[in-house]
Homo-oligomer: A and B are copies of this chain.
């Protein structure tokens, strides 16, 4: 105990230690709890000490994104591009599920950090290795959008707001869709009803996220495969 305190004190502050602590804080308490002051306190350090290693909070966030992206598995050596791309994206998804704040952070910052660039570069490489033209690979990367990093950016997604502590259990809060809502939005109600057959729940809560992600991913990959086989090329503009 005394030893631990001493260890903590002796361990010199470094950019790496700061980034790791920041990721841990965001994972556990939610991104809204990540302030320079809170982070400094977690590290047993005065807030100003952080500024020796990161220029400001934006740079801190960029660094955190790089840490997360660095956790994604390296590309699997695969015979076909489709398998390789699919595997890599599903691996990315597993990583982002561990860091629910990351998608929003990535979108908010939308920075081309080194780790993100490296990831994208190797993803493009997989398409090129599969025989894609530069042209098609380009548009395909755009079409995949954020899904290439493993998150789907759906319209309703409560997972990313609070930290782990807030939602330890899957929370069957699941009050059924209020009747007056169901009456005003019949098509939404119809889907919510069907989705809650198995487990009782409401609008998205009853959806199998993994299934939905793979459904969309395969929809895109199949369409891309077809374009590739047809030898699709950009219209001359």
> What is the interface of chain A, defined by CB distance below 8 A to chain B?
104, 106-108, 110-112, 114, 116-118, 120-122, 124-125, 128, 134-135, 137-139, 141-143, 145-149, 152-158, 161, 181, 184-188, 190-191, 194-195, 198, 203, 207-208, 211-212, 215-216, 219-220, 222-224, 227, 237
Contact = CB atoms under 8 A, between A and B. Distances in A.
Contacts of A120: 155, 185, 188
A191 B194 CA distance: 44
A188 to B, nearest CB: 5
Interface of chain A, main secondary structure: helix
Contacts of A161: 110
Contacts of A223: 219-220, 222-223
Task: Count the copies.
Answer: 2
A153 B107 contact: yes
A195 B124 contact: no
Given A117-B181, A138-B195, A219-B227, 12 more contacts: A107-B107, A107-B153, A110-B157, A112-B203, A124-B188, A124-B191, A134-B190, A137-B187, A143-B215, A143-B219, A145-B153, A219-B224
